[in-house]
Structure 1
Amino acid sequence: MALSRAIETRKPAAERICCDPLAERFLGAKYRMLLWGRPFRDVVEGQIERRFAGHHYYVIARTRYFDDLLQQRLAGGAKQLVILGAGYDSRPYRFADRLGGVQVFEVDHPATSTAKQAKIRALIGEIPANVAYVAVDFTVDTLADKLLARGYRATRPTVFLWEGVTPYLDLAAVDRVLSFVMDSAAGSAIVFDYILRSVVDGTCTLRGAANEFAKMGRTSEPLSFGIDEGQAPAFLASRGFQNVVDVGAQELSDRYFDPHGKHRYIKPWWRIISGEVGSALGVVEP
């Protein structure tokens, strides 16, 4: 993911879809070598596309979509940001100028959280005072308990970013997170991506879907959770969310790729959905 963001960031400002200057600094030496020169980066981009059809262009469009939504929610008064499965997400640092007065929580597995903190200290020095790392092992820990212990306040409007995580969970785990979000203040919102259930049950015929499912099945993180095509808005609405927005490859391409980039294939079996906590469901802190 960081490699795709780094390749895109190296492009001229007028051409690139997303910009993450920290992405390449998260990479090891072997991957940083892949960034040498535009012709070489173009070859690497093509190799990623051949190995995982539609992945590279989905990652950069998804990054931009999440960036845009975060900035919209901050402009709308969000007072907390919770990044679930934070990994090497750099938004707390890329958007530091817009996060003044906003408490940020980076949630991830203890091992990943420890490694991330060490990397951030090496890159920028001290971790900003408004950023809290929340180490959660979901096999033994409860998200609410861990967040509350680090200063999370359920009465503050919060934006939850959940990027590239749900396909590797089961329905019960997804529902636990959504239930927690629904207990947040009015005006809180979540955005996450998901895959079509047909990928998991083996009936998806979209280009690259079977290949990705097979390759991930040989790793420690197989694809296991999906939502039936066209049913994601109802999935969120049935759990109490309002103003649900569901977008996929076509919408992302129309929004971010100019006519010269329409040939770039965004994998259509991954989609992005967002929803809000309604005014009757949460209490807002004065």
Structure 2
Amino acid sequence: METVDNFTNDSAMMIAYERSLESQRPDALFQDPYAAALAGSKGEQLSENFGNGAKMFGFPLWPQFHKQWTAVRTRFIDDRVEEHAPNLTQLVNLGAGMDTRPNRMPAYAAFARSMEVDMEVVNTSKAKIFSKFLSSPASHCPVENVDLDFLDKEKSLASELGQRGFDATVPSLFLSEGLIMYLGAEGKVKLLGDVSAVAAVGSVLVLQFMDATGSDAAKENPAVLNSALSQEEARKELGERGWGDFQFFAFGDDALNFGRFQGDKPSLSFSFCVCKKLS
């Protein structure tokens, strides 16, 4: 059987594999019937390798921490989609990877379109798997796959979205899951600027980020700090670009837990910011 092993974004396969594990649980926080096919044969090993670094992330006795984090973050975003779908007509998924929400969530029927933005190799691989191995992956709304490398200085999010029918005059829901921490110091600021430039007043941003404040991972690997984003930095960078009504969540908080957290205290390394475009 052909797989997605030639797909370059390994993290997307790892997350798909971990979503497939969650979907098999009797107490699953969500059901993703497509995840297993999207994980390829590398997803499982990548997940196990990540678990070996649990100590670095502050969980020395919890090697399964990332599997649970994937379950929690997926459910958290699902809930935000369901919360805002009745009031927003477009969704933009930044760094969509192997996400399957348009296909598995009926709430997407409220959107006029969902824009799935990622590198061309990612979108191509995902489309190939959907067409070959999934039985009926019909989406609940029109989906536009937008090819964009977020570090490409010659292409802009605004132009690429505009070419695929995005309406920058209406409020939209922007999702950024597992993306900004891979963009480096300049890339993370560029992403926030690019999103702000296309977000109409009333838009909502759901941003997953890594706050390295007090992180052992940052101490062992200073490069982590380049991609990390503290709450203060997020508030400043986004606030200067017209965002407000900030809400911050860390893995282990009551709203970012779902009974799965086993640490001693919430982990800032696995955080979310939810905010609204006010001007």
Aligning the two structures, in what range does the TM-score lie when normalised by the shorter sequence?
0.7 to 0.9
Q: 1:188 aligns with which of 183, 189, 203?
A: 203
- 1:118 paired with 2:128, answer yes
Q: Which residue of 1 aligns with 2:105?
A: 95
For residues 11 and 250 of structure 1, the distance between their equivalents in structure 2, rounded to whole angstroms, comes to 20
- 1:109 paired with 2:124, answer no
For residues 212 and 274 of structure 2, the distance between their equivalents in structure 1, rounded to whole angstroms, comes to 18
* Unaligned 5+ runs, structure 2: 1-14, 60-64
For residues 137 and 31 of structure 2, the distance between their equivalents in structure 1, rounded to whole angstroms, comes to 23
1:29-108 equivalences in 2 (<5 Å): 29=41, 49-52=51-54, 53=59, 54-75=65-86, 77-96=87-106, 98-108=108-118
For the structure 1 residues 113 and 49, does the alpha-carbon distance in structure 2 shift closer, same or farther, using more than 3 Å as the test? same
Given that residues 188 and 276 in structure 1 are in contact (C-alpha distance below 8 angstroms), is that contact kept between their aligned partners in structure 2?
yes
TM-score of the superposition, structure 1-length normalised?
0.75
Given that residues 85 and 111 in structure 2 are in contact (C-alpha distance below 8 angstroms), is that contact kept between their aligned partners in structure 1?
no
Q: Deviations over 1:108-151 (max 9, x none)?
A: 11111111111122225686571111111342321111110011
For residues 105 and 245 of structure 2, the distance between their equivalents in structure 1, rounded to whole angstroms, comes to 25
1:1-286 equivalences in 2 (<5 Å): 1-12=15-26, 15-29=27-41, 49-52=51-54, 53=59, 54-75=65-86, 77-96=87-106, 98-122=108-132, 123-124=134-135, 128=139, 130-138=142-150, 139=152, 140-183=154-197, 184-198=199-213, 204-205=215-216, 209=217, 224-228=226-230, 231-251=233-253, 253=254, 256-258=257-259, 261-263=260-262, 267-278=267-278, 281=279
For the structure 1 residues 223 and 99, does the alpha-carbon distance in structure 2 shift closer, same or farther, using more than 3 Å as the test? farther
Q: Deviations over 1:158-207 (max 9, x none)?
A: 11111001111134333333233334222111111111244xxxx623xx
For the structure 1 residues 229 and 155, does the alpha-carbon distance in structure 2 shift closer, same or farther, using more than 3 Å as the test? closer
Q: Deviations over 1:52-106 (max 9, x none)?
A: 343222211111111111111102x111111111110111111245324421111
Number of equivalent positions: 250
For residues 43 and 196 of structure 2, the distance between their equivalents in structure 1, rounded to whole angstroms, comes to 40
Give the fraction of aligned pairs with identical amino acids, expressed as a percent: 26
For residues 246 and 197 of structure 1, the distance between their equivalents in structure 2, rounded to whole angstroms, comes to 14
Larger RCO (CA under 8 A, 6+ residues apart): 1
* Unaligned 5+ runs, structure 1: 35-43, 282-286
Higher mean C-alpha deviation, range 90-99 or range 66-75: 90-99
Given that residues 102 and 108 in structure 2 are in contact (C-alpha distance below 8 angstroms), is that contact kept between their aligned partners in structure 1?
no
TM-score of the superposition, structure 2-length normalised?
0.76
Given that residues 233 and 245 in structure 1 are in contact (C-alpha distance below 8 angstroms), is that contact kept between their aligned partners in structure 2?
no
Q: CA RMSD in A?
A: 3.1
Higher-Rg structure is 1
Q: What amino acid does structure 2 have at the position aligned with 1:68?
A: D
For the structure 1 residues 234 and 210, does the alpha-carbon distance in structure 2 shift closer, same or farther, using more than 3 Å as the test? closer
